Amino acid sequence: MIERKPLRTIPEHYPLSCQWEITCRCNLRCVMCYTDCFNRADKIRTELSTDEIIRIMDELAEAGCMELCLTGGEPLARPDFFQVYEHAKSNGFLVTLFTNGTLITEEVADQLAALPPHRIEISLHGLQEKTFEGVAQGKGSFQRCMTAIRLLLDRNLPLVLKTTAMTLNKDEILAIKRHVRSLGPVGYRLGEDMRPTLDGSDAPERWALSEAELLDINRQDPELWNETRRKQSRQPPSCVSGMRSFHIDAYGQLQLCSANRQMSYDLRRGSFIEGFYHALPSFPCRWKSETPGPLIQPSAIHA
């Protein structure tokens, strides 16, 4: 374990929060997924090895990073996932896991309960099998996802369910949110953005809802509508990516965030300290702020 020294003040430029795409491999082929184009054997062979992940993770811990989001692809599709996860926990990170849930078995749920994460986030694409699997493109994925949710709730693990609003599931979004509310202390988040795939295709846009359709859905739910009005009534927050948050891809490339990969710093060849303090500040971003916002920023990481 890396020995930590007390942090009495937070510098303006400090590596607090990391989103780490530890793999692009996945057992599903979700229609809107921007990483699935790299879910191929040739690309998977070039992903970071276990030793490389652990070495970089130790560098993050030594630099003082506190929050670590493990995402993909599907993180649990890595055979070494629990070796990586347990190392993250031993370094004292607040670990968030983004997963599709379909690989969570009784054994996996028990392992997570034995060493609980800060939060687990699962994508719930629909309440009907046909809808869910129309998005996920995996036979049996709906039942496996619902089973995973039950397994995690039975173990009192902190859970957030999220839905990406699409043409395929627009008629079920409000029902999904009501279902989540019925589960007890489970968070919910509705995503509305589609992003190009990692190879530059805009194919996910074919599933995007129009602004009018999104407004119509949000107006029907008081919480969603209040959030929509809040966003509309203020200036978009300045992006602090690269100041207190950053992204690492499956190949060890350090970037401002998952949505901005215009430039990268290769952590296989260089150190995290060099990359974060000397490379990232020079990377272009049209939303970049010269000064950081509040320390607590739940949306600082683009997911």
Q: What was the pLDDT predicted at 295? A: 41
The domain limits of the chain are: 18-234
User: How far is the C-alpha of 181 from the C-alpha of 199, rounded, in Å?
Assistant: 37
User: Please, what is the angle between helix 129-136 and helix 141-154, to 10°?
Assistant: 100
**Residue spans of alpha helices (H) in the chain:** 41-44, 50-63, 81-90, 106-114, 129-136, 141-154, 173-182, 211-219, 222-233, 272-274
- Can you read off the two tokens belonging to residue 281? 């500040």
Q: What was the pLDDT predicted at 301? A: 35
User: How far is the C-alpha of 126 from the C-alpha of 175, rounded, in Å?
Assistant: 9
Residue pair 263/253 in contact by the 8 Å Cβ criterion: no
Strands in 94-99's sheet, in edge-to-edge order, are 187-191, 159-164, 119-123, 94-99, 67-71, 17-21, 245-248, 253-255, 265-266
Compute φ and ψ for 286, nearest 5 degrees: -75, -15
* Burial category of 288 from C-beta neighbours within 10 Å (exposed 0-12, middle 13-18, buried 19 and up): middle
Stretches where the chain sits below pLDDT 50 are 291-303
pLDDT tens-digit map of 258-289: 999 999 999 999 999 999 999 999 999 877 65
Reference 253, options 75, 32, 19; nearest CA is: 19
Q: What was the pLDDT predicted at 232? A: 83
For 62, 70, 194, 236, 272, the CA distances from 31, given in Å and listed in that order, are: 38, 21, 11, 28, 34
Q: What was the pLDDT predicted at 2? A: 55
Question: Residues 6 or more apart from 264 whose CB is under 8 A from it?
Answer: 249, 253, 254, 255
Q: What was the pLDDT predicted at 297? A: 39
Q: What was the pLDDT predicted at 48? A: 98
For 74, 79, 123, 245, 297, the CA distances from 18, given in Å and listed in that order, are: 17, 22, 20, 6, 13
- Can you read off the two tokens belonging to residue 227? 């959030």
For residue 266, the surrounding DSSP H or E stretch is strand 265-266
**Could you tell me the sign of the dihedral formed by the alpha carbons of 25, 28, 33, 38, in that order?**
positive
pTM assigned to the model: 0.91
pLDDT tens-digit map of 26-61: 999 999 999 999 999 999 999 999 999 999 999 999
Q: Does domain 18-234 have CATH number 3.20.20.70?
A: yes
Reference 53, options 303, 301, 249, 264; nearest CA is: 249
For 166, 197, 206, 239, 263, the CA distances from 259, given in Å and listed in that order, are: 19, 10, 19, 12, 11
| N-term to C-term CA, the chain | 28
